[in-house]
């Protein structure tokens, strides 16, 4: 067996891709290892959402390039979003790289790997449809409880700050039959949670020219599968959340009451500059609609601080939105200019770094405040928790898991194990997690 090491940066889509890459390569004699030093093949699966993530890819390649000097037979590959965009730059900065492959080319690995084993240098960056032969390969899933299923890749939205349409291409949905087959395998293997993935998961099916293929109907089909398991879906684009999707979440008992709906800014002018297809008021309406429908639902978001031309007042609208909507948690970031994007060219409107950092700091403070407020709402309540992890602290067995609404819950118990669903009465709320005790 040859040894394979994969370093994965970026979002869940990249993590899911890495599980598939590892699975495909296991058909060709590669076994994944956690120890880089013993690897025959090193792969870095990269992210370019912000400059910092892209920089990490190059510094890792630099370290690996030095290692190859002492071990010339070592193979180095780069894939993911930086690879898709930067093949010429990679060739120039890291000529020792053996294989560059794009976000669309994972299922071409069987042929690509043979070429690099014959000492060819290979670059495969082409636009191909979503591979429909995915179920023919092993998937080396990292988690034993939750399994990811990518259902739609790419993005048609072209938000002016974002590089994803350039790295992942246009939206491509997988056909429902393939997804359902993968879900059936997952359940058979004993997984207890399925997370459907897409850069815009709620656009699912739009490219398949069949009005019946929607995320709502896919949830309904998956919900009918036998077995005790949960279904989640991320990430939702606000204005693509249809009434039928909300209805499907309500109808389907296996689908979690949890929505991740990035707002990005609380100000309508900035949203327009970002090319987001909704106003502040429209986003508020979507959140109210969901909150009115489901008790105890959690709604999380993403926000960017310091988008080009953002004024102090406009930034304050973002803080206000987090507070008024009582958003349960938000991912936050300072705006990072990206190559190819429209906002990246608005150099004269860039916000100075110190102002961006100060705004990010305030965003994070508001986020902590809202997360604590959200968690406190669950004090005294009973949540159904899926156990994901077991640790031992001060001779006590502590189980960690997530509730249906994605809240992280810790409780002490020797009775339950990983993969169990347990009703837990919450008795303590902190900013990032809840504590409780099991109730029968």
- Give me the residues that bind ligand SF4 (CB under 6 A), please: 155, 157-159, 162, 164-165, 199-200, 237
Span near ligand SAH by CB under 6 A; candidates 33-41, 158-166, 174-182, 279-287: 158-166
Q: Is 217 in the site for ligand SAH (CB under 6 A)?
A: no
3-state secondary structure of 419: coil
Span near ligand SAH by CB under 6 A; candidates 157-165, 346-354, 371-379, 418-426: 157-165
CB of 238 to ligand SAH, least distance (A): 8
| 341-379 burial code (b ≥16 CB/10 A, e <16) | bbbbebeeebbeeebbebbbebbeebbeebbeebbeebe
Looking at beta carbons only, is 329 or 416 nearer to ligand F3S?
329
Residues 58-117 that bind ligand F3S (CB under 6 A): 80-81
* β-pairing verdict for 146-153 and 172-173: antiparallel
One-character DSSP codes across 257-308: SEEE---B-S-HHHHHHTT-SS-HHHHHHHHHHHHHH-TT-EEEEEEEE--T
CB of 170 to ligand SAH, least distance (A): 14
Q: Is 199 in the site for ligand SAH (CB under 6 A)?
A: yes
Looking at beta carbons only, is 82 or 304 nearer to ligand SAH?
304
Task: Find all residues with CB under 8 Å of 70, minimum gap 6, and list them.
Answer: none
Calpha distance 268→289 (Å, rounded): 19
Q: Provide the CA 382 distance to its chain's centre, in angstroms.
A: 28
3-state secondary structure of 346: coil
Looking at beta carbons only, is 41 or 196 nearer to ligand SAH?
196
**How is residue 383 written in tokens?**
């949540």
CB of 12 to ligand F3S, least distance (A): 8
Q: Is 164 in the site for ligand F3S (CB under 6 A)?
A: yes
Looking at beta carbons only, is 201 or 387 nearer to ligand SAH?
201
Q: Are 247 and 273 in contact (CB under 8 A)?
A: no
Span near ligand F3S by CB under 6 A; candidates 11-19, 112-120, 302-310, 368-376: 11-19
Calpha distance 322→327 (Å, rounded): 5
Q: Is 47 in the site for ligand F3S (CB under 6 A)?
A: yes
**How is residue 406 written in tokens?**
């994605």
Binder among 13, 97, 149, 246 for ligand F3S (CB under 6 A): 13
- Which among ligand F3S, ligand SF4, ligand SAH, none contacts residue 48 (Cβ within 5 to 8 A by kind)? ligand F3S
Looking at beta carbons only, is 45 or 214 nearer to ligand F3S?
45
Calpha distance 222→233 (Å, rounded): 12
Looking at beta carbons only, is 167 or 405 nearer to ligand F3S?
167
3-state secondary structure of 138: coil
- Site residues for ligand F3S per CB under 6 A: 10-11, 13-14, 47-49, 80-81, 163-164, 167-168
């Amino acid at each position: 067996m040859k040894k394979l090491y994969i370093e994965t940066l970026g979002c869940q889509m990249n993590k899911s891709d890495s599980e598939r890459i590892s699975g495909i390569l296991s058909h060709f004699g590669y076994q994944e290892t956690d120890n880089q030093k013993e690897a025959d093949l090193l792969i870095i699966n990269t992210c370019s959402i912000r400059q910092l993530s892209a920089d990490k890819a190059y510094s890792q390649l630099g370290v690996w390039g030095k290692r190859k000097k002492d071990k010339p037979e070592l193979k180095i590959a780069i894939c993911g979003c930086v690879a898709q965009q930067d093949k010429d730059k990679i060739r120039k900065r890291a000529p020792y790289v053996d294989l560059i492959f794009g976000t669309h080319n994972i299922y071409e690995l069987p042929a690509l790997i043979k070429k690099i084993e014959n000492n060819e240098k290979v670059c495969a960056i082409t636009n191909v449809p979503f591979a429909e032969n995915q179920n023919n390969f092993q998937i080396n899933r990292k988690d034993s409880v939750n399994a990811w299923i990518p259902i739609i890749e790419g993005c048609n939205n072209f938000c002016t700050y974002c590089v994803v349409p350039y790295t992942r291409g246009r939206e491509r949905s997988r056909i429902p039959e393939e997804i359902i087959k993968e879900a059936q395998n997952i359940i058979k293997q004993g997984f207890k949670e399925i997370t459907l993935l897409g850069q815009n998961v709620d656009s699912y099916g739009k490219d398949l020219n069949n009005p019946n293929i929607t995320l709502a109907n896919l949830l309904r089909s998956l919900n009918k599968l036998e077995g005790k398991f949960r279904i989640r879906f991320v990430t939702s684009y606000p204005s693509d959340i249809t009434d039928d999707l909300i209805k499907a979440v309500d109808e389907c008992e296996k689908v979690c009451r949890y929505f991740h709906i990035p707002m990005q800014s609380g100000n309508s002018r900035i949203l327009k500059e970002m090319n987001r297809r909704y106003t502040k008021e429209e986003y508020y309406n979507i959140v109210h609609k969901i909150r009115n429908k489901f008790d105890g639902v959690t709604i999380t978001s993403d926000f960017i601080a310091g988008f080009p031309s953002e004024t102090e007042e406009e930034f304050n609208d973002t803080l206000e939105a987090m507070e008024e909507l009582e958003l349960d948690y938000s991912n936050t970031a300072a705006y990072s200019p990206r190559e190819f994007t429209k906002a990246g060219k608005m150099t004269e409107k860039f916000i100075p770094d110190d102002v961006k950092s100060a705004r990010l700091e305030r965003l994070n403070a508001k986020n902590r405040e809202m997360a604590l407020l959200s968690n406190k709402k669950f004090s005294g309540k009973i949540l159904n928790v899926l156990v994901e992890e077991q640790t031992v602290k001060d001779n006590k067995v502590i189980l960690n898991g997530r509730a249906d609404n994605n809240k992280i819950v810790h409780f002490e118990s020797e009775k339950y194990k990983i993969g169990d669903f347990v009703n837990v009465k919450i008795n303590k709320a902190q900013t990032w997690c809840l504590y409780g005790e099991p109730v029968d």
